[in-house]
A and B are shown apart, each in its own frame.
Chain A
Amino acid sequence: MPSNEDNIKSGIYNKGEIELEHLIESLKKHPNISKAGSIHTFTGIVRDSSNNDKVVVGMKIDAYDDLANASITKICNILKQKEGIIDVKIIHLKGDFNLSEDLVYVVVASAHRKEGFEVISKAVEMYKKEIAVWKRENFSNGTSEWIH
């Protein structure tokens, strides 16, 4: 299981394959982790309403793994170049999700909190726009809609 490996690679995984605590444990094994003063995490979860106020009861995430993994690697590599950043990991899960279940993890280790907050925010904005992942919201009236 990827969650037991020392170094969890950023990328697309099936739902349940990785949990946040395993990702943080993995990050703490980074060879330069002693230079970090903070670890920042972002967890994207399933919300119970859509952007146009429909009642959401679940979500499906689909991904073009090859393209999405390449984009995630590129985003992490760009952000890791920034001053004071030790490591950046992005995990996007795919499959069928219930309300409040985890969809995405972004974890950043930084020397100081300021650059960590900046980079985790940037990482979220970048993955939302750039990776080949699609979400379908399932509504309480039995309909569903892919969001673009």
Chain B
Amino acid sequence: MIVEVLYFAEFKDITSKEKENLEIDENLDDLLNLLFKRYSSFRNLVWDEKSQKIHNLISIIINNQAIHEKDPLKINLKDGDKIAFLLPVSGG
């Protein structure tokens, strides 16, 4: 399936993109593994090495909705889903 990943702030800097379409097998874990391979700094921003989980500062957004699953890596994605990983906001 093809999903669209949106990049903001640091994520835009490290990918040099606003968004891109990526082909993945099934779930959020597949997507993250692909992103970690493509962009070495992506893992540093998203992954908490101590807990071996997505860092709790990261918000996961799918189709403009925040996700609050206990184990987001198992979330199954659908073709055409739009996904974003967000760091805490800082309005001007």
Contact = CB atoms under 8 A, between A and B. Distances in A.
A131 B89 contact: yes
A135 B89 CA distance: 8
Interface string A121-144: 000000111111111100000000
A70 B92 CA distance: 17
A62 B17 CA distance: 13
Interface in A5-25: none
Contacts of A99: none
B91 A136 contact: no
Given A44-B92, A104-B91, A146-B90, A134 B9 contact: yes
On chain B, which size bracket covers the interface?
A: 10 to 19
Contacts of A63: 8
Interface in B71-92: 84, 86-92
On chain A, which size bracket covers the interface?
A: 20 to 34
B16 to A, nearest CB: 13
Interface majority SS (helix, strand, loop, mixed), chain B: loop
A124 to B, nearest CB: 9
A70 B91 contact: no
B61 interface: yes
Contacts of A61: 92
A148 B88 contact: yes
16 contacts: A64-B6, A64-B8, A64-B86, A92-B91, A104-B91, A127-B91, A129-B91, A132-B86, A132-B89, A133-B90, A133-B92, A134-B8, A135-B91, A136-B9, A146-B90, A148-B89
